[in-house]
A and B are shown apart, each in its own frame.
Chain A
Amino acid sequence: MILQHNKKMEATIVALEGRMDAITSSDYEIKMKGLIASGERNFVVDFEKLDYISSVGLRAILATAKQIRSRNGKFLLANVHGSVKEIFTISGLGSIFPFYDSIDSAMAFFV
């Protein structure tokens, strides 16, 4: 999995690419922990280029969401589509998160 982040005024955008599975999900968690520790509060996760997610990935997403919310931060998911969206839905996690269909619409949340 490739992870990139891009700090904007209102939030940090974290872009996921490739596969988020039993092996790569820990990379995501480490990265997020680092960003949270460095004081970032609001996040938008960009799923545009993610092809695959398993329940390990879903749990990692949920865990970071909880951490951020406990710090009164915001955690938004954007561009969740295709089979990844389907997996969110069938796992039961889909209804917990609102999905934003673009980075812009997620960012609009902060203004």
Chain B
Amino acid sequence: MIKIEHLSKNFGTLSVLKDISIDIREGEVISIIGPSGTGKSTFLRCINLLDCPDGGSIHIEGIDLLDPKTNVPKIRQKMNMVFQSFNLFSHLSILENLTIAPIKLLGMNKMEAERKAIDLLKMVGLAEKARNFPDELSGGQKQRVAIARCLAMEPKIILFDEPTSALDPTMVSEVLSVIRSLSKKGLTMVIVTHEMDFARDVSSRVIFMNEGIIYEEGPPHQIFENPHKEKTKAFIYRVKSFNYHISSPDYDLYAMNAEIEVFCEKQILPRKVRQNLILLVEETLQLYHSYLSKVSLDLTIAYSEKMDSVELVFESTGEEIILISSEPGTDEFGLNIIKNLTEEIGYQRIQDKSRCTMKLKKV
């Protein structure tokens, strides 16, 4: 239905979309999620030619969108877009908002267009507002009208760009339930959204966009329950992280502790978690101490708001480090403390890097 190959888009020197390829089949409901500024809106706008791509190709039902001979307005009838900011015509009544395009562009007669508009307004629960003007409606109602207006053109594809982001929280669900009902009607939909629960249960496929590329895509249970790649995990689990680089055995313990404290405060971690974290870091660095003149060490502390968990990663570059050996004579107190403060400890050796990961025990 939609075939996109090697799509790219720049704004001046800023490369916003890098090399996007995707096939969207008829009836698919695709959610696009990802950090702000990652190119999600630009991607939708390119599909609809509201922004002109700089490279690659877009085919809609086999028609090359970027071919100058292509009748773009005609394609746009097939593929309509719903915006965050509703974009209703404020000088027209709700009914007129829904009938103007079908009359002008599809050549529908007024009566037929109005009958259809009323049906659509019923579907979104707003038939009684037909004679009102957009200013007399709440945000959620306006967005439902915008969706009905979009449907009045009988599109096969609807693109939604954060349809609920401009709404009061109380009005989000009424709009989502309308979109949900459309998904059951076989319409092909591409939805950019920050509503993760909604994306999880409405989509057939979820795309995680990051820095202008499709970083990971898959069925909702993969992306939300078991994301495979690092940045997807960080996004889904709402991970906030802290890094500290240690390049000598005389590193400044107090400067590091102060930074850890600031990080913990930002994440509103309880005092006890902070104390345990600082102790765990000091104890682990003790084990590294004799190596610190030979290797450099990067400490990452990652807090997942969603899982309410704290993970530590100590990554050293250089000779292999066996941190916790079972040989007698090793620092028993330190090891006992580490074992008691952690739920899990893991090791990995990747090329010239040794990685030790620890999961802080919950308090």
CB within 8 Å of B: which residues of A?
Answer: 21-23, 52, 54-56, 58-59, 83, 87, 90-93
Contact = CB atoms under 8 A, between A and B. Distances in A.
Given A23-B253, A23-B254, A90 B286 contact: no
A73 B127 CA distance: 93
B334 interface: yes
B254 A92 contact: no
The 5 closest A-B pairs by CB, nearest first: A90-B340, A55-B334, A55-B333, A91-B333, A92-B336
Contacts of B254: 23
B336 A22 contact: no
A90 B283 CA distance: 13
A92 B331 CA distance: 12
Interface string B301-321: 000000000000000000000
Nearest to B281: A54
Contacts of B279: 52, 54, 87
A92 B332 contact: yes
Contacts of A56: 282, 286
13 contacts: A21-B282, A22-B286, A23-B254, A52-B275, A54-B282, A55-B286, A55-B331, A55-B334, A83-B272, A90-B337, A91-B332, A91-B337, A93-B333
Given A23-B253, A54-B283, A58-B333, 17 more contacts: A21-B282, A22-B282, A23-B254, A52-B279, A54-B279, A54-B337, A56-B282, A83-B272, A87-B337, A90-B341, A91-B332, A91-B334, A91-B336, A91-B337, A91-B340, A92-B333, A92-B336
Nearest to A23: B253
A22 B337 contact: no
A23 B278 CA distance: 14
Contacts of B332: 91-92
A83 B253 CA distance: 20
A52 B336 CA distance: 16
A95 B286 CA distance: 23
Contacts of B336: 90-92
Contact of B283 (A23, A55, A93): A55
Interface of B: 253-254, 272, 275, 278-279, 282-283, 285-286, 331-334, 336-337, 340-341
A22 B284 CA distance: 12
Contact of A55 (B253, B272, B275, B337): B337
A83 B275 contact: yes
A25 B336 CA distance: 19
A92 B253 CA distance: 25
Most buried by B among A52, A54, A56: A54
A52 B254 CA distance: 13
Most buried by A among B282, B331, B333, B334: B333
A91 B341 CA distance: 10
Contacts of A55: 283, 286, 331, 333-334, 337
A47 to B, nearest CB: 16
A23 B252 CA distance: 9
Nearest to A51: B275
Contacts of A90: 336-337, 340-341
Nearest to B272: A83
A59 B333 CA distance: 8
A35 B254 CA distance: 28
B326 to A, nearest CB: 15
B339 to A, nearest CB: 8
A84 to B, nearest CB: 10
Most buried by A among B278, B279, B286, B331: B279
Contacts of B275: 52, 83
